[in-house]
Amino acid sequence: MEALRNKARELLQSRTVQVVIGYSRGSGGSSRAVFVQAPSQADALVFDDTCRQNLAVYLMKPEVRKLGKAALVATPSALRTILQLAAENQLSDHDLLVLVVDPGGDVVPLATFGAIEARVAALNTDLSADEKEELRKYKALGQEQRRGFWQEHFSRCLKCYACRAACPLCYCSRCTVECNQPQWIPVPAHDLGNLEWNVMRAMHLAGRCVNCGDCSRACPVGIPLYLLNQELISEVFANFEFRSGLAAKAENAMSTFKPNDPEDFIR
Amino acid sequence: MEIELRSIDREALAKLFAHWRDEGRRIVAPKQLGEKIDFAPVTGLDQVSLDQVQTVQSPKTAVFPRVEELFSYKSRDGQVEIRERDGTGVPRTVIFGLRPCDAAAFASLAAIFNWDSPDSLFSSRLANTVVVGLSCPRADEYCFCTSVGGGPGATAGSDILLTGTGNGTYLAEIVSEKGRQLVEGAGDLFGPALSKEKETFLARVDKAFDRDRIGPALAALFENTAFWAEQSLRCLGCGACAYVCPACACFDIQDEGDVSGKRLRCWDSCGFGLFTLHTSGHNPRPLQSQRWRQRLMHKFAYMPERQQVLGCVGCGRCSRACPVDMNILEHLRGVVEAKP
Amino acid sequence: MSDFQPKIVAFVCNWCTYAGADLTGTSRMKYSPQVSIIRFPCTGRIDFMLLLKAFASGADGIIVSGCHPNDCHYSSGNFHARRRWIVFRGLLDFLGIDVRRVQFSWVSAAEGAKWAQLVNDTAEQIRQLGPFSGYHKLRGAGVE
């Protein structure tokens, strides 16, 4: 951690960046986002196993972008998020320096998207064995059981949009739920509206989600949203051989096509 | 009404649940739902979870539902028939096992819903609800009831307050007329008080700040944009804090339907970007820092000024639910300690 | 159940399937009256949410049909639609919604007979599956 703090101090002192977005100690022994703007504040930075929030979400927040060039302490998910945001033309590597803290505590600065791509290439970006097992167990449920499973979960959805707020890839300045001509997604948190909201968000993330899990962690009532996202990650990979967040220049799976995309279900 | 002391044990409590069921009451109590503990309808004491410090959501949905129909309409041949909700038909409810902070929040909700005109639907729900609270043997670092005029054994807002005194027995404080009627209707389930001792069974919650200082401190900080920006930079603008809060009462009205349909009332949050967006396109609170400031001002300055009641009961739910740890207690301490 | 008349909504593209359905009519071919046809300029315009909205409005089954690949009036609208359907269908199945209730098809302007067959087969399939009450009962649920 000392290496991270020193690096932050150095970057701020030299005005290489105007803010270091990292983690600090939070309530209950957790960690939370911190925005270090002065070298004297760098002591607040920590990095350990509690640091899981995908901080890339702040790269899309206007109040943070206004602070100037940022250095971001990136988890593997955040690295992939940055590449996906770049592929969607939302980020330039001129405004961003990525800091990776490796297991030994050393800080690896990544100044270009190319450097981030090289780092991501060494990661396992597939679903983990545990995740695949959980999906497999869920898919062994019968149709009625699956429906009941989601009916129960979605009946508890509050439409607080913590999932959307926590997701770095939900960056639309005017989200589709905020359109009221027509009111496409119902505002009240009734069962039907909750299903429509969660289905829609899952679909809008198809081919984009990097499986950071922040949506599920953010959900106050513990809905396993990650199952929806991981299912679509599997579908997109199985059908289109595409994975998000691997390259700064990539075409979105859902806005491209192959002439020979599978169509055995089409009569 | 002077508080009457009685006692009840777990066995009799279980019978009390059966009695409520026989009376046709809906019983809402903390229940294990997956990995979270939250208020849900229950039919027996065995389904109730009582060991937790606090549930995720408050029980406010019993009197201020997440989605509520205000009226329905049908149009046919140019004629529109409207069926308005009146106070009849709301379910008779018992909220069991809520904490003293939750019970105190009903006063905050009532102050808003009956402020300038009485909300008959809300009042009817509240009138048809009996509140059986449970005092707190434990607290955690997020609790700050004692800083906002409450306490782990406070009786305000409860019709009956139970305090676990060990060995499955509870001291039962009969606080209100509703509570007294409930006891009378319960036959011999409530016995005489075995002891008046209560303090030793309560959690210790040290006062974190002086609530009289918050209002003036907030007023002095209003124009300090740097202070609010710093406090709110990690806030993502979701509605989790408002929705889990027992005292938050902001709502939206939505009409659903075409030739026939309903007008619905549902929860809203001042943290959302669109909350104050005008039809003209102007938004008086375009920045998250302004919306965060509004949250604290409303609860700790505007409500005391206008409704003579705080909009916060120190339950700590918002801090626990917040995905980015916007710890309200920490921020309130910052307000009191800030140099304007 | 024997007098259950399924409600089927068909989302079709203007240039191929709608024209094909027109041909079915002008050829005096009879087909099940259970279907309500909604015309789109292209299958690429069909938002997946419309399918859920159709179910919420009371549909028991849905047909989605457009031009064959390479025949799209707008060159590639149907290719984009196809990708969307692959993913959405997977999600519906994952959620426990019976994907047999949604029939995807390519029907060209010349395939009047195919349209009739498609509608009749789909109507029969939905008749066997029964009303989609599992979805319909979501309406009004969670409102106090």
pLDDT recorded at residue B187: 86
List subunits contacting chain A, requiring 3 or more Cβ pairs under 8 Å: B, C
- A257, part of any domain: no
- A208, part of any domain: yes
Do both A19 and A45 map to the same domain?
A: yes
- C98, part of any domain: yes
- With H, G, I as helix, E, B as strand and everything else as coil, classify residue B182: helix
Which residue from A minimizes the CA distance to B319?
A27
pLDDT tens-digit map of C22-69: 999 999 999 999 999 999 999 999 999 999 999 999 999 999 999 999
Report the C-alpha dihedral over residues C25, C28, C30, C34, rounded to 10 degrees: 20
- Range A9-34 average pLDDT: 97
- C25, part of any domain: yes
End-to-end CA distance of chain A: 59
Domain boundary among B201, B222, B249: B201
pLDDT recorded at residue A145: 97
Do both B193 and B241 map to the same domain?
A: no
Do both B95 and B126 map to the same domain?
A: yes
- C69, part of any domain: yes
Do both B185 and B235 map to the same domain?
A: no
- C144, part of any domain: no
User: Does the bond joining A182 to the residue before it have cis omega, within 30 degrees of 0?
Assistant: yes
Name the residue range of residue B110's domain.
4-201
Contact B62, B55 (CB under 8 A): no
Indicate if the pLDDT at residue A3 is higher than 70: yes
Provide the pLDDT confidence category of residue A76 given band limits of 50, 70 and 90.
very high
| Contacting residues of B for A34, CB less than 8 Å apart | 234
Tell me, what CATH number does C41's domain have?
3.40.50
| Contacting residues of C for A209, CB less than 8 Å apart | none
Q: Would you call C90 and A231 a contact, using CB atoms and an 8 Å cutoff?
A: yes
- B225, part of any domain: yes
| DSSP secondary structure code for residue C86 in this structure | H
Which residues, 6+ apart, have CB-to-CB distance to B66 below 8 Å? A158, A188, A189, B266, B267, C142, C144
Do both B59 and B189 map to the same domain?
A: yes
Tokens for C137, please give them.
């009962």
Domain boundary among A64, A94, A121: A121
**Nearest residue, CB atoms, B323 vs list A156, A190, A217:** A217
| DSSP secondary structure code for residue A103 in this structure | T
Do both A14 and A97 map to the same domain?
A: yes
Indicate if the pLDDT at residue C1 is higher than 60: no
| DSSP secondary structure code for residue C143 in this structure | -
- A264, part of any domain: no
* Count: domains in chain C: 1
Distance separating alpha carbons of residues B98 and B207, to the nearest angstrom: 21
Do both A99 and A143 map to the same domain?
A: no
Classify residue B156 as left (phi > 0), alpha (psi -120 to 50) or beta. beta
- C142, part of any domain: no
Q: Would you call C142 and B67 a contact, using CB atoms and an 8 Å cutoff?
A: yes
pLDDT recorded at residue B339: 79
pLDDT recorded at residue A209: 98
- A99, part of any domain: yes
Q: Would you call B288 and A27 a contact, using CB atoms and an 8 Å cutoff?
A: no
- With H, G, I as helix, E, B as strand and everything else as coil, classify residue B8: strand
pLDDT tens-digit map of B177-190: 999 999 999 989 99
| Contacting residues of B for A214, CB less than 8 Å apart | 323
Domain boundary among B175, B201, B227: B201
**Bridge partners, B79 (sequence order):** B76
Contact A159, B251 (CB under 8 A): no
Distance separating alpha carbons of residues A68 and A15, to the nearest angstrom: 10
Interface check for B264 against chain A (CB to CB < 8 A): the answer is yes
Tokens for C81, please give them.
């639609």
- B269, part of any domain: yes
Name the residue range of residue A39's domain.
2-121
**Bridge partners, A73 (sequence order):** A99
How many CB contacts within 8 angstroms connect chain A with chain C?
109
* Count: domains in chain A: 2
Distance separating alpha carbons of residues A138 and A222, to the nearest angstrom: 17
Do both B224 and B178 map to the same domain?
A: no
- Range B85-112 average pLDDT: 94
- B189, part of any domain: yes
Give the DSSP letter string of B12-39: HHHHHHHHHHHTT-EEEEEEEETTEEEE
Regarding an ipTM greater than 0.90, the answer is yes
- C122, part of any domain: yes
- Range B65-93 average pLDDT: 92
pLDDT tens-digit map of B223-263: 999 999 999 999 999 999 999 999 999 999 999 998 999 99
pLDDT recorded at residue C2: 67
* Count: domains in chain B: 2
Q: Would you call A188 and B254 a contact, using CB atoms and an 8 Å cutoff?
A: yes
Name the residue range of residue C24's domain.
8-136
Q: Would you call B264 and C143 a contact, using CB atoms and an 8 Å cutoff?
A: yes
Tokens for B311, please give them.
């909009």
Q: Would you call C144 and B68 a contact, using CB atoms and an 8 Å cutoff?
A: yes
Do both A92 and A57 map to the same domain?
A: yes
| Contacting residues of A for C48, CB less than 8 Å apart | 203
How many CB contacts within 8 angstroms connect chain A with chain B?
109
Do both B171 and B219 map to the same domain?
A: no
Do both A24 and A117 map to the same domain?
A: yes
| Contacting residues of C for A145, CB less than 8 Å apart | 96
Q: Would you call B323 and A27 a contact, using CB atoms and an 8 Å cutoff?
A: no
Domain boundary among A96, A121, A146: A121
Do both A97 and A135 map to the same domain?
A: no
pLDDT tens-digit map of A127-175: 999 999 999 999 999 999 999 999 999 999 999 999 999 999 999 988 9
| Rounded percentage of chain A residues whose pLDDT exceeds 90 | 96
- Range A172-181 average pLDDT: 91
Do both B189 and B227 map to the same domain?
A: no
| H or E element in which residue B110 lies | helix B100-113
Do both B98 and B170 map to the same domain?
A: yes
Q: Which of B106, B88, B247 is nearest to B176 (CA)?
A: B106
Domain boundary among B201, B236, B253: B201
- B206, part of any domain: no
pLDDT tens-digit map of B192-219: 998 889 999 999 999 999 999 999 999 9
Do both B228 and B195 map to the same domain?
A: no
Distance separating alpha carbons of residues B246 and A246, to the nearest angstrom: 44
Interface check for C141 against chain B (CB to CB < 8 A): the answer is no
Q: Contacts by B12-18 with C-beta closer than 8 Å and gap 24+?
A: B12/B189, B12/B190, B12/B191, B13/B45, B13/B170, B13/B189, B14/B44, B14/B45, B14/B46, B15/B189, B16/B186, B16/B189, B17/B42, B17/B43, B17/B44, B17/B45, B17/B96, B18/B44
| DSSP secondary structure code for residue A131 in this structure | H
- C78, part of any domain: yes
What is the CA angle A54-A58-A60, rounded to 5? 115
Do both A18 and A65 map to the same domain?
A: yes
